Structure 1
Amino acid sequence: MSRYKDKISKKAVALKYDNDQIAPMIVASGMGHVAEKIVELAADNNVPVYEDTSLATVLSRLELGTEIPEELYKAIVDIYVYFLKFSPSNSPSTSEADTNKS
């Protein structure tokens, strides 16, 4: 796949969870340049980034401001648990769950 196609096909979705919510909510979603900006903003604000192309594809189809559907709870919980295993001082800012780019 060409570098250009890699850049335009990259997807990113940002989730937010508050204790008063039932499930995490989609707060940002984008492809290409917008996806790169979402990841850049996360890094600038010490927000961990988890790469999973398949999950990003599914989540990117949801509207902003919606809670994730129940069918995706397990996948999202697994990601949250993964990040809880690392202390902020030694955790990498990016983790690769799926190295295949869509």
Structure 2
Amino acid sequence: MQDKDKNRKGIRHAAALQYSPETDAAPKVVATGKGIVAEKMIEKAKEADIPVYQNTELAQTLSALGIGDQIPPEVYDVVAEILIFIGSVDKSYGQDYED
């Protein structure tokens, strides 16, 4: 998950999550970045057709976590919405190749 919106200081934040329901109790942070690093993360995600979900506050919160940390319970609802969004993108992407 990444965010290319600017916060009040003009610094971009990005975070990438990984979640495997079979093995993980909650999604975990696998990458974070600020500024140019965040911009590169977003660019690489788009190049790889990885869905990008933009939410400045969430990106800032997740960027403050360490790599490998599970997301805190207070952001479960927002992350659940993102996972639903990604699931719908995956389904529509798969349908394009089934036709």
Do Structure 1 and Structure 2 share a fold, with TM-score over 0.5? yes
Q: Corresponding residue for 2:93?
A: 88
Which consecutive unaligned segments of at least 5 residues does structure 2 have? 1-8
Q: Distance in 2 between matches of 1:16 and 1:44?
A: 18
Is the partner of 1:22 in helix, strand or coil?
coil
Q: How does 1:1-102 map to 2 (within 5 A)?
A: 6=10, 9-18=11-20, 19-86=22-89, 87-88=92-93
Q: Distance in 2 between matches of 1:45 and 1:66?
A: 24
Q: Distance in 1 between matches of 2:94 and 2:39?
A: 24
Is the partner of 1:37 in helix, strand or coil?
helix
Q: Corresponding residue for 1:93?
A: none
Aligned residue pair count: 84
Q: Give % identity.
A: 39
Q: Distance in 1 between matches of 2:63 and 2:87?
A: 24
TM-score, normalised by the number of residues in structure 1: 0.74
Q: Corresponding residue for 1:97?
A: none
TM-score, normalised by the number of residues in structure 2: 0.76
Cα deviation digits, residues 20-59 of structure 1 (max 9, x gap): 1111110110111000111112112211000000111111
- Once the two structures are TM-superposed, the CA of residue 83 in structure 1 deviates from its matched residue by 2.4
- Once the two structures are TM-superposed, the CA of residue 89 in structure 1 deviates from its matched residue by 6.7
